[in-house]
């Protein structure tokens, strides 16, 4: 086994969401800082898929934007294929790195320019990176890319509004594949689609991973989707990883109380008579997170240590988990 392709170490991103300076002076309010991501570390091996799951607002999409260089981290860093990615993004050599790291966005209705033809949308990365300059060659390459995601080369003369949501997302995937990347960051790529269309897009992504050896970071709140696509699963809560494990281990024996709560809420075909357990409580205000373990107001195993001390992400029996109750053997 070689070194992992992607290594995130202590990634953190803090946003200043304070009111304007004059308002703060007049109302005598302090600055407000939002810790969207707070010390996230993980590794992804080449050709594998890590899925990040969690409720809305837990920092999944911020992690995605940190990995592709759309945000600069407040703390920590990212190593891609042995080099410091965020340092490289600022240099001329960063263009070469950006070819190797691409992103598929969540909303196919917002991520495609409605005024551009599909040919221009998919061909833009090829022109931007200077990979193809000849017009006929570019047209042929776009046609091949569209075919690779299940569309026709004849579709390149159409506009995005002439396609359904699933077809638009396929165009987004074709655009992301244009520079032949090694690492794709997928930010909830199927959440805006119907269930049947979700399955088609996911199968295309699995086939592309097999044929091209792609590495994925797959972000989702749908655990059924995660079970279908991932090799490893990381569970996030209020900007922190609370559990990181292989897919089979996590779904068979979840350790963290929050992971258990998420899995209990999934409808199961063979448990039709059993009452579903809804996810208890509300996500706390991220501007004013609880002390100690941020999950303690919703946790059935809480004690005084949980309220006072933030748990570290420790490896316990092959699973990384941040929970005092698991560490002490109380659950």
Q: How many CB atoms lie within 10 A of CB 288?
A: 7
* Percent of all residues in the chain with a pLDDT value above 70, rounded to a whole number: 96
How far apart, in whole angstroms, are the C-alpha atoms of residue 55 and residue 164?
27
Report the percentage of the chain scoring pLDDT > 90. Answer: 63
Q: What is the pLDDT of residue 270?
A: 67
Q: What's the mean per-residue pLDDT of the chain?
A: 90
Mean pLDDT of 277-303: 85
Q: Which long-range contacts (CB under 8 A, 24 or more apart) does 164-170 make?
A: 164/197, 165/108, 165/109, 165/192, 165/193, 165/194, 165/197, 166/193, 166/194, 166/197, 166/198, 166/200, 166/201, 168/108, 168/109, 168/112, 169/104, 169/108, 169/193, 169/201, 170/201, 170/204
Residue 1 has pLDDT above 60, yes or no: no
The per-residue pLDDT for range 22-37, each reduced to its tens digit, is 988 998 888 999 999 9
Dihedral of the CA atoms 61, 66, 68, 71 (nearest 10)? Answer: 100
Give the pLDDT confidence score for residue 193 in this predicted structure. Answer: 81
Taken in order of first residue, the domains within the chain and their CATH numbers are 4-237 (3.40.50.300), 260-269+277-330 (no CATH)
* Element housing 37 (H / E): strand 33-44
DSSP letter for 312, please. Answer: P
Q: What confidence category does residue 271 fall into, taking pLDDT thresholds of 50, 70 and 90?
A: low
Q: Is the pLDDT of residue 278 over 70?
A: no
pTM: 0.89
Rg (CA), the chain: 21
Helix, strand, coil % in the chain, rounded to nearest 5:
35, 20, 40
pLDDT value at position 228? 87
pLDDT in tens, 193-220: 888 888 888 999 999 999 999 999 999 9
Q: What is the pLDDT of residue 223?
A: 86
- What do you get for the CA distance between the two ends of the chain, in Å? 34
* Bridge pairing between strands 183-187 and 215-219: parallel
Contact between residue 201 and residue 190 where contact means Cβ atoms under 8 Å apart: yes
Give the sign of the dihedral formed by CA 257, CA 263, CA 266, CA 271: negative
Give residues with Cβ within 8 angstroms of 199, minimum separation 6: none
Query: Confidence band (pLDDT; 50, 70, 90) for 6?
Result: very high
Give the neighbor-by-neighbor strand order of the sheet with 83-84: 33-44, 6-16, 75-80, 83-84
Cα 246–220–65 angle (5° rounding)?
100
Task: Mark out the alpha helices in the chain (DSSP H runs).
Answer: 21-27, 60-67, 85-89, 94-100, 118-128, 135-148, 165-177, 195-212, 223-229, 247-252, 257-264, 304-308, 324-327
Position 277 pLDDT exceeds 70: no
pLDDT of residue 272: 60
Token pair of 173 as six digits: 């995937």
Residue 183 β-bridge partners: 101, 215
Q: What is the pLDDT of residues 72-106, one digit of tens each?
A: 999 999 999 988 998 998 888 788 888 999 999 98
pLDDT of residue 146: 94
Q: How confident is the model at residue 108 (pLDDT cuts 50, 70, 90)?
A: confident
Give the whole-angstrom CA distance, residue 186 versus residue 172: 11
Q: What is the pLDDT of residue 147?
A: 93
184: β partners: 102, 216
Mean pLDDT (whole number) for 166-179: 92
**Confidence bin at 221 (pLDDT 50/70/90):** confident
H, E, C per residue of 38-72: EEEEEEECCCCEEEEECCCCCCHHHHHHHHCCCCC
Mean pLDDT score, 281-287:
84
Classified as helix, coil or strand, 14 is: strand
Q: What is the pLDDT of residue 209?
A: 93
pLDDT in tens, 130-143: 888 889 999 999 99
Per-residue confidence (pLDDT) for residue 331, from 0 to 100: 80
Strands 183-187 and 101-104: parallel
Q: Vertex 142, ends 136 and 140: CA angle to 5°?
A: 35
- pLDDT for position 201: 87
Q: What's 28's DSSP letter?
A: T
**What are phi and psi for residue 294, nearest 5 degrees?**
-65, -15
- Quick check: 240 pLDDT over 70? yes
Q: Is the pLDDT of residue 283 over 90?
A: no
What gap in Å lies between CA 108 and CA 30, rounded to an integer?
Answer: 39
């Amino acid at each position: 086994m070689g070194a992992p392709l992607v290594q995130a170490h202590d990634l953190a991103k803090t946003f200043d969401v304070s009111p304007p300076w004059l308002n703060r002076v007049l109302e005598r309010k302090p600055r407000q800082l939002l810790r969207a991501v707070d010390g996230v570390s993980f590794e992804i091996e080449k050709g594998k898929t890590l899925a990040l799951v969690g409720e809305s607002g837990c920092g999944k999409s911020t992690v995605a934007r940190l990995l592709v260089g759309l945000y600069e981290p407040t703390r920590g860093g990212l190593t891609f294929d042995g080099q410091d990615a965020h340092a490289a993004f600022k240099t001329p050599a960063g263009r070469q790195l950006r070819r190797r790291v691409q992103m598929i966005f969540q909303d196919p209705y917002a991520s495609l320019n409605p005024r551009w033809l599909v040919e221009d949308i998919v061909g833009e990365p090829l022109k931007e990176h200077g990979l193809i300059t000849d017009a006929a060659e570019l047209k042929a390459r776009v046609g091949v890319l569209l075919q690779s995601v299940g569309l026709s080369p004849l579709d390149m003369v159409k506009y995005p509004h002439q396609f359904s949501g699933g077809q638009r997302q396929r165009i987004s995937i074709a655009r992301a594949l244009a520079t032949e990347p090694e690492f794709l960051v997928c930010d909830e790529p199927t959440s805006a689609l119907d269930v049947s269309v979700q399955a088609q897009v996911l199968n295309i992504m699995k086939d592309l991973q097999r044929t091209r050896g792609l590495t994925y970071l797959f972000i989702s709140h749908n655990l059924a989707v995660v079970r279908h696509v991932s090799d490893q699963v990381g569970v996030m809560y209020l900007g922190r990883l609370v559990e990181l494990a292989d897919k089979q281990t996590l779904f068979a024996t979840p350790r963290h109380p929050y992971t258990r709560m998420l899995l209990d809420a999934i409808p199961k075909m063979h448990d039709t008579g059993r009452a579903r357990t809804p996810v208890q409580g509300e996500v706390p205000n991220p501007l004013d997170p609880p002390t100690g373990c941020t999950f303690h107001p919703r946790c059935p195993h809480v004690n005084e240590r949980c309220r006072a001390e933030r748990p570290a992400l420790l490896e316990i029996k092959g699973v990384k988990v941040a929970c005092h109750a698991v560490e002490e053997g109380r659950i």
